[in-house]
Amino acid sequence: MNKLQFKILKKDKHCAARYGEIITPHGKISTPVFIPVGTLGAVKSMSPDELEEIGYEIILSNTYHLFLRPGDEIIKKAGGIHNFIGWKKPILTDSGGFQVMSLQKFRKITDDGIEFQSHIDGSYHFFSPEKVMQIEQNLGADIIMVLDECTPFPSSYEYAKKSADLSLKWAIRCKEEFQKSNSNQALFSIVQGSVFDDIREENAKQLLEIGFDGYAIGGLAVGEDKEDLNRIVKLLCNILFEHKPRYLMGVGTPIDLLENIEKGIDMFDCVMPTRIARNGTVYTKKGKLIIRDSEFKEDFKPIENDCNCYACKNFSRAYIRHLIKIKEILGIRLTTIHNLTFYCNLLNDIRSAIMNDNFMEFKRKFIERYRRQNGYYNTN
């Protein structure tokens, strides 16, 4: 029996945005929530204490990668992933379905599961739905995901239908295996179907009939137009249970968050804020700033004047640019701290706006300011 609880505390009067909380064995998660990605058990360059100090209540790790290194059995012996990585708050583990798509040359999909070759050492492995549940239970995350195929884009209608049907069969097998244990984990399913409305609708309704603790929307942000993404999310938010968490996987620009929270999404994850930080790019309320550029060589202002992060309180753009140019690891630590703080603050502001029935006005003002100069801005 799982112990996840989801409560909607406030709905905005002017749209479908909602403020709520997810209760897990390792603590509370305020929603809407952005989940930093710690694929191999660490958010790159960040310590658990730093993430907690910023305000994060949950992180994400990946079953595929942890299975290969260091191995789920080692993590189990350590007392589970929380003990192994030193993060005491909630953790979500993805099942590896996205890696099935992104590492296509290393895998073969059958009705029984996925045969794949390790991208690390070339060794062969097989993921069945049952095997993935066993691995995720060994890892011990609070929220675990069913095995699915993240349908590639573009796909034909026929392929998308076949893929969604296969993911549905795997979801059933995952739940059957999951129910054999006395786990207090929560099991989320994943809606697939590419950009085809009828496949998505059918897949979602079938998953609702089976019953899961939460429902994710997968297979988006893989190359489709924004119009398709927005249409599919709106369609599914009108179908998926209101009393269960809705999770939009792998979608995470600031504007994406705002657009989809308006539709009723509760959970997001994305590598973008940490990835672009390592490339010398930071988020601000006026758009993205490429701090490694020469224009910041003698700019002694903080990244953002009203930001409360460690980087902005202590260092200038010129110094951070210098660190990045000389490839000093402190540089990407500072840009990562700033970007994660930016996202955490944005979500705090969004939740406050929902509580005050002011989300739509907040969204309008944020996007108007953020989109100046096509998402980038010149500080001169």
**Angle, in degrees to the nearest 10, between helices 129-139 and 157-178:** 50
Cα angle 334, 335, 339 (rounded to 5 degrees) comes to 120
Q: Is 191 in a helix, a strand, or coil?
A: strand
Handedness of CA 35, 41, 45, 46 (dihedral sign): positive
Residue with tokens 């997810």: 22
Q: With beta carbons less than 8 A apart as the criterion, state whether 38 and 76 touch.
A: no
Among 256, 266, 269, 299, the one annotated catalytic:
269
341: Cα separation from own chain's centroid: 16
Among 72, 94, 142, 266, the one annotated catalytic:
94
Residue 94 catalytic?
yes
Residue 349 catalytic?
no
Q: With beta carbons less than 8 A apart as the criterion, state whether 248 and 216 touch.
A: yes
**Cis peptide preceding 32, ω within 30 of 0:** yes
Q: How is residue 305 written in tokens?
A: 């004047």
> Which residues are marked as active site?
94, 269
